[in-house]
Structure 1
Amino acid sequence: MRALRCVASALLAGLLLASCGDPGSSAPAGTSTTTSAAALKAAAFPTPLEAPKPNLTDLQGRPFDFAQRLRDKVTLLYFGYANCPDVCPTTMGDIGQAVRKLDQSQRQRVQVVMVTSDPARDTPEAFGTWLRQFGPDFVGLTGKIDDIVAAAHSVNIGIEPPKTDAAGDYEVTHGAQVLLYTPDGKGAGYYRSGTSSDDMLTDLRTLLNR
C-alpha cells in the first residue's frame, strides 16, 4: 500500500488545492496575489465573498442554509475530509486550538464549519466522531459530491471528485484554505495552509471586539 501525502497545486482564482493521494503525483504550484486585509492576519479577497452555493446538509440530515447560517457569527469554513493524512487534521487542530483560547462568551459567537470532500467514506457518524475531537460544537456538512464541488467552486475553493488512479490509490483533492466570514455573512479573507492558530485567534478577537 502506498503512503498518502498532500501536495499543493493551483486552481481557481489563484487558490490552492491539497491533493491527497499518490506521492508521485504533482501539479504546478500557484501563488495568490491577494493582500492582507487591514487589521486582519487573513489574506484579503478583492471584494467580499458571498456564501457558498448550493446549500448542503448537516450530519443529522437537516438542510444548512449558508446565506442564513453564516450571519451573526464569525465563521471559519473549511473543505476537507476525515481520512486526510496531514493537511486536514493539522488545519482543524490549529482551528480548535484558536477557538479554545477564546472565553465562553466569545466562543458562542464563533462557529466552525467543515464540509467533507469525501462523502462516500465520510459517513455522518464517522465524520462527526472525527470532527468532535477538534471541537465539540464544530459543524460537519455533507451532500452529493456534485453539490459539494459546486459549493466549493462557488467560493473559489478547488475540489475534484474522489477517484482511484491507475495504481489503485484513492485520491481526494480539495482546497487547503480556511475561509473567514464576518457576522454580515460575507467572506473577508482566507488562511493559507500552515497559518498559525495564534494568527487565527488574533483575527477572531479583532472581529468579536468590533
Structure 2
Amino acid sequence: MRAVPGQAALGSAILVGGLLLTGCGQDATAPADAGGVRVATQDDGFHGTLMQRPQPRPDLTLPTTTGDPFDLGNRPEDEITLLFFGYTHCPDLCPTTMADLALARDVLAPGIRDRVQVVFVTEDPARDTPEALREWLDRFDPEFTGLIGGTEATAAALRELYLPESAQVADPSTAIVHPHEGGAHAAEGDGQHGNGHSHGDYGVDHAGTVYAWGPGGRAVIYTGGTTPDQYAEDLTRLATAG
C-alpha cells in the first residue's frame, strides 16, 4: 500500500482534489475530481488540517448495523463526529485507523468522550453484513457506529467531501484479510464461509481520510500519520472551541 502524506506539513492551503485513494486494493492511487477547488486552512494548533471555509457534514442517511436510519447531516449541536469510509477486509488502514480512534476516545475526559461519535461506513456491503460489521467494530469500541454503504448515496457523499469514490479491485497487490475467518487467504475452495456468503479475495480502494466535525461548524481532516494522543488533543480542542 502506498503511504498517504502526513497532514501536519500541508501548510496554509491544500488542494482537496489531491486527496488520494488508499492502496488497499492496489498500489495505484487516484486523485479525487474536485474541479480544482482549493480549500484554505488555518493553523490553530490542530494536528489535523482545520478547514477555514465551512465543510458541513454530508447529506447522507444510511442504515446502522441494527437497521435504524442514521442521518449524518443532522447531528446534535454539541456532537463531535468522526467519519471514515472503508471495509472490514481491509488489510491495514481500516483496522489501524479504528484502533487509533478507539485509543484516542479512551483517553478523553468522560464529558468529552460521551460527545464523540465515530462513524465507519462500509463500502463493501456484499461481505460486510450488519452482523459482520458490528462484530468487527466491537473489537475496537462497541460505541462505534457502523453504517451500510457502498451505494450511490455514499458515492455522492464522497463527492460532496471532495474525496475519491470507492472502487472494487479484483486483483489487489496486498492480500486482503478475512476478519471473521482468521486472517488473510482464509478463503479456500468455493470461497464460502460460516455466514453463508462468499468472502472473495477482491479488495476495495477507498478514501483514506478521516473527517472530524465539531460545534460551531469546525471541520478537521486527517490524511495519515496521526497518533491516538494527537487525535485526543484535537477532539478536546473541537469540544471546547467557542
The TM-score bracket by the shorter chain reads 0.7 to 0.9
How far does residue 147 in structure 1 lie from its aligned partner after superposition? 1.7
Aligned in 2, Cα 1:82/1:36: closer, same or farther, shift over 3 Å? Answer: farther
SS in structure 1 opposite 2:233?
Answer: helix
Pick one of 219, 223, 234 that aligns with 1:188: 219
Letter in 2 for 1:191: Y
The answer on 1:170 being equivalent to 2:174 is no
SS in structure 1 opposite 2:54?
Answer: strand
CA deviation map 1:8-62 (0-9, x unaligned): 589962212113224xx423689x9854541322112241211213321211112
Q: Distance in 1 between matches of 2:158 and 2:31?
A: 19
The answer on 1:18 being equivalent to 2:25 is no
2:234 aligned partner: 203
1:121 aligned partner: 127
Q: Distance in 2 between matches of 1:86 and 1:156?
A: 23
TM-score (norm 1): 0.83
- In the TM superposition, 1:30-179 aligns within 5 A as 35-69=41-75, 71-165=77-171, 170-179=202-211
Q: Distance in 1 between matches of 2:100 and 2:214?
A: 19
**RMSD in angstroms over aligned alpha carbons?**
2.8
1:3 aligned partner: none
Q: Distance in 1 between matches of 2:98 and 2:133?
A: 13
TM-score (norm 2): 0.73
Which of the two has greater strand per residue?
A: 1
Q: Report if aligned partners of 1:87, 1:176 keep a CA contact under 8 Å in 2.
A: yes
Pick one of 27, 51, 72 that aligns with 2:29: 27
Aligned in 2, Cα 1:15/1:159: closer, same or farther, shift over 3 Å? Answer: same
Q: Report if aligned partners of 1:149, 1:161 keep a CA contact under 8 Å in 2.
A: no
How far does residue 199 in structure 1 lie from its aligned partner after superposition? 1.1
Q: Distance in 1 between matches of 2:224 and 2:164?
A: 14
Q: Distance in 1 between matches of 2:2 and 2:142?
A: 29
- Aligned residue pairs total 201
Gaps of 5+ in 1: 1-5
Comparing 37-46 with 54-63, which one deviates more in the overlay? 37-46
Q: Report if aligned partners of 1:8, 1:27 keep a CA contact under 8 Å in 2.
A: no
1:7 aligned partner: 2
CA deviation map 1:173-202 (0-9, x unaligned): 111111010124x35121112211111111
Aligned in 2, Cα 1:45/1:166: closer, same or farther, shift over 3 Å? Answer: closer
Aligned in 2, Cα 1:15/1:34: closer, same or farther, shift over 3 Å? Answer: farther
Letter in 2 for 1:54: L
SS in structure 2 opposite 1:135?
Answer: coil
Identity %: 39
Q: Distance in 1 between matches of 2:75 and 2:114?
A: 14
Aligned in 2, Cα 1:87/1:7: closer, same or farther, shift over 3 Å? Answer: same
Aligned in 2, Cα 1:8/1:169: closer, same or farther, shift over 3 Å? Answer: farther
How far does residue 164 in structure 1 lie from its aligned partner after superposition? 2.2
